[in-house]
Amino acid sequence: MDPSRAFVTNVKRLIVKVGTAVVTRGDGRLAVGRLGALCEQLKELNSQGYEIVLVTSGAVGLGRQRLRYRKLVNSSLADLENAEFELDGKACAAVGQSSLMALYDTLFSQLDVTSSQYLVTDSEFRANSFRKQLSETVKSLLSLKVIPIFNENDAVSTRRAPYEDSSGIFWDNDSLAGLLALELKADLLVMLSDVEGLYSGPPSDPNSKLIHTYIKEKHQREITFGDKSRLGRGGMTAKVNAAVCAASAGIPVVITSGYATGNIIKVLQGKHVGTLFHRDAHLWTLVKEVGAREMAVAAQQCSRRLQAIDSEDRMKILHNIADALEANESLIKDENEADVAAAEDDGYEKSLMSRLSLKPGKARLIPILQITGLAKSIRVLADMEDPIGHVLKRTELADGLILEKTSCPLGVLLVVFESRPDALVQIASLAIRSGNGLLLKGGKEAKRSNAILHKVITSAIPKNIGEKLIGLVTSREDISDLLKLDDVIDLVIPRGSNKLVTQIKNSTKIPVLGHADGICHVYIDKSAKVDMARQIVLDAKTDYPAACNAMETLLVHKDFSSNGLLNDVIGDLKHKGVTLYGGPRASSLLNILETRSFHHEYNSMACTIEIVDDVHAAIDHIHQHGRHAAYSSPFLFQ
């Protein structure tokens, strides 16, 4: 949980404000799907013991849509020739309110939740007797698990113009929500909008950054608000004003998206969503993380100093890192074991646990997964030929004018990887040897391992280069901000699932060095030596099944499958605990469960078996179901 969101553990009474843009679609009709998802969230929270008060906009917009339709139905042809006609806002509010409440009542009734309606005006709050009665009635309803639904009664409100009458107590449903938070002594106010939260600029601007915590002294000067909402009366200006007012009185406020599923629950879980307004936000500078741009720029500046030193000095840095890893081996193992224990408690799969652990002896094919092995590999890398400054191509453009293509650092790399803390060491070492700055984001399951490894490595970087050469990104939300920095970051390398690679490729203008799934195949031909084939298949699947180059599909020649020798291979795999799935032919022949897809990377003790006619059919199968990555190439044993 984010330390700044720890207060949510004490929240019991919650006010949720829903904006017009959430309640309605672009054409003015009800957004039934969004409202249904909202009501399901409130039902779940209600059943968990939270006291829920709902403040909703949308009546005017709904009424306008219905009255426009009624106007068209009752218009003559001559009337329709008039391009525009105005509708009275109060009439719209009166008509739309019944539609809005009817929908809430229907949705909540389906979930076995009772709701009630409160229509209030600004003038009513001037009477202390009204405020007292309001609080008592709401208290009674909440004790019965009824959800009160508030809306400003625009149909009869006497206030002429919102925002222009400074004597008002509230001016719209945003300020009404803030007022109710104070009157009803709420523990939290969540305001749902059509954007993720408050941005440093227009949300449509790719350079705008989501502000996770609003600090009045800072952001009030920096942020310029645009026009008010195109649908409701307030917009972000009204939400921020209401949030600042409530937060100043001691009630935390979170502005977040009402479009995203489950955001209210995520807020109450302490997740880093939306923009938080808190009375003590200005005191949290000690726990404030370095911003994405600041981290990237720092890595860029350090990388330029790294590139300015000679190869021998870069070699020395790597040797110092290797020494530091060995000197801190015990501490690193303690942190890694804590990650492993936490992952076990959380029920992670064995394949992930295998990649997470830094214990020795995980695989013969990958011997550098222990601290000693990692240090040895770093020293080997350090002593290799310098990758910088090689002339790759020389062209004589004219007499005495020669153009050379020379290898050089890229600049700043952003590498996102999953599970494997050893990858942090490997990536950092390669970046330093090649003169690049580096930003790293590992999986949350390896948080402690990554933190200690990063600390040990950066402590070995000399001060004249700067430890910020390698930045460790600890917040998942910062990745979206980093992917916007195409003016600072030169290459993104995602190491993980195909889903991760695809998401990053679709989210940035920065060049991405991606990869495909490791759907590795082994083919046993009819002429294969049985004993050798059995050993290779067993090793390819069971030596380190979590690796991306482990066998995922076994293809067998039809003759090999009919002479009984396939049973020996299957017996070996089952004896080692491998779960077998079959293609259409193999599942029928071997009486095993048919696989749902040939394109599946198990990363565990499971694999798919299929029967093919010959080596050409095997190659066709691999071309169809592999991804043409280097480690997806077929192994053909004959």
Q: What is the pTM of this model?
A: 0.51
Same domain, 201 and 306: no
Report CA Rg, the chain.
31
Once rounded to an integer, what is the mean pLDDT over residues 26-52?
90
The model's confidence at residue 628, banded by pLDDT at 50, 70 and 90, is: low
3-state secondary structure of 122: helix
Burial of 500 (0-12, 13-18, 19+ CB in 10 A): middle
The model's confidence at residue 138, banded by pLDDT at 50, 70 and 90, is: very high
Same domain, 94 and 209: yes
Domain-embedded: residue 103: yes
Cα angle 185, 186, 192; round to 5: 145
Same domain, 173 and 31: yes
pLDDT tens profile 480-516: 889 989 999 999 998 877 777 888 888 899 999 876 6
Are the CB atoms for 555 and 582 separated by under 8 Å?
Answer: no
- At 631 the pLDDT is 38
Same domain, 171 and 90: yes
Domain-embedded: residue 68: yes
Give the Å distances, CA to CA, from 625 to 115, 132, 517, 537, 552. Answer: 53, 69, 10, 19, 11
Q: Which of 437, 472, 505 is the last residue of a domain?
A: 505
- At 162 the pLDDT is 47
Domain-embedded: residue 446: yes
Same domain, 445 and 536: no
Q: Which of 505, 531, 548 is the last residue of a domain?
A: 505
Determine what percent of the chain is predicted with pLDDT higher than 90: 42
- At 217 the pLDDT is 65
> In the chain, how many H helices and how many E strands?
24, 19
Same domain, 630 and 482: no
> Rounded to 10 degrees, what is the CA torsion of 571, 576, 577, 578?
-70
pLDDT tens profile 272-299: 889 999 988 876 643 344 578 889 999 9
Rounded to 5, what percent of the chain is helix, strand, coil?
Answer: 45, 15, 35
Of the two residues 547 and 344, the one the predictor is more confident about is 344
Domain-embedded: residue 321: yes
Once rounded to an integer, what is the mean pLDDT over residues 543-568?
82
Domain-embedded: residue 513: no
Once rounded to an integer, what is the mean pLDDT over residues 124-151?
93
Same domain, 487 and 530: no
Question: Tokens 């330390």 correspond to what residue?
Answer: 3
Same domain, 606 and 623: yes
Q: With a cut of 80, say whether residue 391 has pLDDT above it.
A: yes
Show the domain range for 595.
520-637
Of the two residues 311 and 79, the one the predictor is more confident about is 311
Tokens of 87: 């509708």
Q: Which of 453, 473, 505 is the last residue of a domain?
A: 505
Once rounded to an integer, what is the mean pLDDT over residues 327-344?
88
| CATH number for the domain harbouring residue 73 | 3.40.1160.10
Residue-wise over 325-350: b if at least 16 C-beta within 10 A, else e? beebbeebbebbeebbebbeeeebee
Domain-embedded: residue 628: yes
Rounded to whole angstroms, how far apart are CA atoms 578 and 96? 62
Same domain, 218 and 313: no
Read out DSSP for 77-88?
Answer: HHHHTSS-----
Rounded to whole angstroms, how far apart are CA atoms 576 and 432? 41
Domain-embedded: residue 318: yes
Length of the chain: 638
Same domain, 336 and 303: yes
Question: Tokens 């106010």 correspond to what residue?
Answer: 189
The model's confidence at residue 633, banded by pLDDT at 50, 70 and 90, is: very low
Domain-embedded: residue 510: no
| CATH number for the domain harbouring residue 610 | 3.40.309.10
The number of beta carbons lying within 10 Å of the beta carbon of residue 301 is: 15
Counting the structural domains of the chain, the total is 3
Same domain, 491 and 557: no
Same domain, 471 and 528: no
